[in-house]
Amino acid sequence: MHPDDHLPHPPPNGFDLPRRLRRLADLAYNLWWTWHAESSRIFRYIDADTWELTEHNPVRFLRLVPSERLRAATNSRWLLEFYDRVVRAFDDYMGDAPAAWYPRTHPDRMNQPIAYFSTEFGLHESLPIYAGGLGILSGDHLKEASDLGMPLVAVGFLYPQGYFKQRLNDDGWQEARYASLAYTDLPVHPVFDASGGPLTLTVDLPGRPLHARLWRIQVGRVPLFLLDSDVDGNSPADRTLTSRLYTSDLELRISQEILLGIGGVRALRALGYNPAVWHMNEGHSAFLVLERARELVAAGRPYAEAMARVRASSLFTTHTPVPAGNDEFPLWLVDKYFSGFWPQLGLERESFVDLARRKEPWGETFSMPVLAIRNAERINGVSELHGQVARRMWSFLWPKLPAEQAPIGHITNGVHTGTWLARRLWLLFDRYFEPDWHEHLDDPRTWEAIERIPDAELWAVRRHLKRKLVAYMRERARRQWIGTRVHPVQVIAGGVLLDPYALTIGFARRFATYKRASLILRDVDRLLRLVNRPGMPVQVIFAGKAHPADEPGKLLIQEVYRQVKRAETGGRLVFLEDYDINLARYLVQGVDVWLNTPRRPNEASGTSGQKAALNGALNLSVLDGWWPEGYNGRNGWAIGDESEAADPAARDAADAESLYRRLEDEIIPLYYLERSADGLPAEWLGMVKESMRTLGPRFSMRRMLRQYVDTMYLPALPDPDPIKA
């Protein structure tokens, strides 16, 4: 590999920086700072207003920061010292790759790159190329691969319009707004070819070629290449092909997925990569197996041998436990888009369709997960429970095997500690944990040290984080009140009446109906009695977007919002618009209880509760996704039991009852009544420590990625070449 061949120097923006601060440009163009909370403060220290104004986007920040602020910085001794420390930490990180875990333990594997494909990457709020959990997982995967020093290269899309910004109208109806991203405002490098022009690649669409160019994002030591069809030579319609995430138009979607799967392989080839393992994160990229087989057939291999080789080096992670959520195409569309392709594999139409055939009640389809499953040697779900569900769901692909023996395993998701852990907690751990604690994030012994933290100090940080959340909400509401014509009730619904010292419950996630956002509102009067209890109030903060085409999801938001706006709530029920990574960080760090109410077993894993646990919030969750593995009876609460009632209405009623009882009988008394002589909720804090100690290591991205390495990546790698190694 040659990681720097495609990097233009200097970066595309010619910032006008004082010499003494010129390395700020390097910091801005590598996402390393996004998971080093202390270091990232350099931008805030230089100019907090511009930092907020630019939504924490350092590239934009450096373009807009007034030169007198930069000059003032060069005159501040402590700031220059801080800057030097940050630059040194960055250079150490980038220069110290050989000392990282992967090169140390698998030095002979460093020339066997791992390709990682995903439609979305949630890396930072200033880069809105993600929609939700799948993207956050991909983003965290790259950051951890960087930390571990892995030779991983990632492929995705640069959507110039990104994912939408959410606003609710007066009546709680979600409105979607798309803003166009300016490339010059993003930490992206255009990729050039040898002649200095944009490096482009081409795939075939019906009756025309589709061209795409590439952008590179540097995620620490890991490169992420993003496809973009907005280039000269494409028709105006094709130029907007990759402008947004998750269109519901089938032709657009199949075209996007052809570009990702087939174009993505061609992109890596054009860049000079020869990956040894190909990881499809969800089925959207599954066309890559076809392109890789085509390459081998074109090089003279018989089809069967080609496909066997492709299969041996392909991995597939499925995330979707509901059949309707899976990506599939009607056969007429496959004919239209692939009739020129299957002859190149030496296949007839029927045998081509067999690669991904799925019989649905309404007819046959070409299923992307089936394509991935049939042609990947290793397949996993994302929690133990989801593994079981996936085996059952796809068992028809192995008619000779009992369902539970279907060859689908599981690796439970985790979260990237540096990205999600509050800076204040990081500093607290620095004081009480072993000095190299962050080198051993997934080691339960590291987290035993949580017991050394005095209750008063942990409580002080927890209170600080909640105050910060409330202050942030007030500031957002104030800006909304000043800037737009909102109804005053909407300002109250935005959280201005929240109490920074009251027990606070957070519910933030995509508004898909199976997540049952309104479960806690099922008996509103019962909830309001808790919310308004004198001396021990409870507040609930909701946030989340519905997919723009998901009408039931939008209705659910509206249902919640109508309750939130009622005067009887006393302003203690809140809906925060435009859930994104920034808001997620405030919420998972600031609330006391993280609520999760999916209809079991529909949540494949869920990761927001893991982020909350890391920061000392307690989970109150249905035993779905990751929670049956995390919950031990002392580190949070379960809603309902592990049965799967056939009747959804009965299930909802039982789960709501269980939820209210947990609140009334356990959570509220534990928080308010069990105070020790010094006023601390000692038992609550005991539970917080139990939660951080038991969940912190297990649900870290470090544990997750090392499991991928040991059980998925390494076994798929061919023997290392003894000469090159």
Ligand X SMILES: *Cc1c(COP(=O)(O)O)cnc(C)c1O
Runs of H (alpha helix) within 124-249: 133-148, 236-239
Residues with Cβ within 8 Å of residue 104, at least 6 apart in sequence:
98, 149
CA atoms within 13 A on the CB side of 299: 8
For the bound state, the minimum distance from the C-beta of residue 298 to ligand X, rounded and expressed in Å, comes to 40
Is 132 an interacting residue with respect to ligand X (CB under 6 A)?
yes
Residue 159: CB minimum distance to ligand X, A: 16
Binds ligand X (CB under 6 A): choice among 584, 593, 618, 716: 584
Among 580, 592, 624, 652, binds ligand X (CB under 6 A): 580
Minimum Å gap between C-beta 41 and ligand X is: 21
The site string for ligand X over 489-528 (x = CB under 6 A, - otherwise) reads: --------------------x-------------------
Q: Closest CB to ligand X among 60 and 319?
A: 319
CB-based contact 610:137 (threshold 8 Å): no
Q: Which is nearer to ligand X, 358 or 410 (CB)?
A: 410
Q: How far is the CB of 101 from ligand X (least distance, A)?
A: 25
Give CB contacts under 8 A, 24+ apart, made by 100-103: 100/147, 100/148, 100/149, 101/148, 101/149, 101/706, 102/148, 102/149, 102/150, 102/151, 102/709, 103/149
* Residue 255 or 608 with smaller CB distance to ligand X: 608
Q: What is the number of other CB atoms lying within 10 angstroms of the CB of residue 94?
A: 15
Cα–Cα distance, 207 to 238 (Å, whole number): 12
Q: Which is nearer to ligand X, 496 or 622 (CB)?
A: 622
Q: Does 143 bind ligand X (CB under 6 A)?
A: no
**Which member of 21, 136, 503, 613 binds ligand X (CB under 6 A)?**
136
Q: For ligand X, which stretch binds (CB under 6 A), given 107-115, 232-240, 329-337, 577-585?
A: 577-585
Among 581, 638, 639, 663, binds ligand X (CB under 6 A): 581
Q: DSSP letter string over 494-541?
A: TTTT--TTSEEEEEES---GGG-GGGGGTTHHHHHHHHT-TTS-EEEE
Length of the chain: 725
Q: Scanning residues 442 to 481, which ones bind ligand X (CB under 6 A)?
A: none
620 binds ligand X (CB under 6 A): no
**Minimum separation from the CB atom of position 608 to ligand X (A):** 3
Cβ nearer to ligand X, comparing 140 with 655: 140
| CA distance linking residue 574 with residue 555, whole number of Å | 17
| 608 binds ligand X per the rule CB under 6 A | yes
CB of 277 to ligand X, least distance (A): 26
Q: Is 124 in the site for ligand X (CB under 6 A)?
A: no
- Which residue, 132 or 696, has its beta carbon nearer to ligand X? 132
Q: How far is the CB of 582 from ligand X (least distance, A)?
A: 8
Residue closer to ligand X by CB (options 580, 652) is 580
Nearer to ligand X, 293 or 508 (CB): 508
- Identify which range of 130-138, 247-255, 259-267, 370-378 contacts ligand X by CB under 6 A: 130-138
Would you say 223 or 283 has its CB closer to ligand X?
283
Nearest CA to 314 out of 261, 266, 258, 372 is that of: 372
Tell me, by CB under 6 A, how many residues bind ligand X.
Answer: 12
Stretch that binds ligand X, among 23-31, 63-71, 131-139, 399-407 (CB under 6 A): 131-139
Q: Is 286 in the site for ligand X (CB under 6 A)?
A: no
User: Least distance from C-beta 243 to ligand X, angstroms?
Assistant: 21
* Of 311 and 423, CB closest to ligand X: 423
Q: How far apart are CA 613 and CA 698, in angstroms?
A: 11
Nearer to ligand X, 58 or 132 (CB): 132
Q: Is 425 in the site for ligand X (CB under 6 A)?
A: no
The Cα–Cα gap between 73 and 20 comes to 10
Nearer to ligand X, 367 or 621 (CB): 621
Distance of CA 652 to CAs 95, 554, 717, Å?
Answer: 54, 20, 46
Q: Which of 220, 548, 590, 606 binds ligand X (CB under 6 A)?
A: 606
Listed residue (169, 118, 143, 116) closest to 30, CA to CA: 143
Ramachandran area for residue 338 (φ above 0: left; ψ -120 to 50: alpha; else beta) = alpha
The radius of gyration of the chain's CA atoms, rounded to the nearest angstrom, is 25
133 counts as binding ligand X under rule CB under 6 A:
yes
CA-wise closest residue to 224 among 282, 147, 145: 145
Question: DSSP string of 132-166?
Answer: SHHHHHHHHHHHHHHHHT--EEEEEE--TT-SPEE
φ and ψ at 338, to 5 degrees? -120, 5
Burial label, 560 (beta-carbon count in 10 A; 0-12, 13-18, 19+) = buried
Can you spell out the DSSP letters for 677-700? TTS--HHHHHHHHHHHHHHHHHTB
CB of 179 to ligand X, least distance (A): 17
Stretch that binds ligand X, among 129-137, 148-156, 662-670, 673-681 (CB under 6 A): 129-137
Dist CA 629 CA 679 (whole Å): 33
Whether the Cβ atoms of residue 151 and residue 714 lie closer than 8 Å to each other: no
What does the binding site for ligand X look like in residue numbers (CB under 6 A)?
Answer: 132-133, 136, 509, 579-581, 584, 606-608, 611
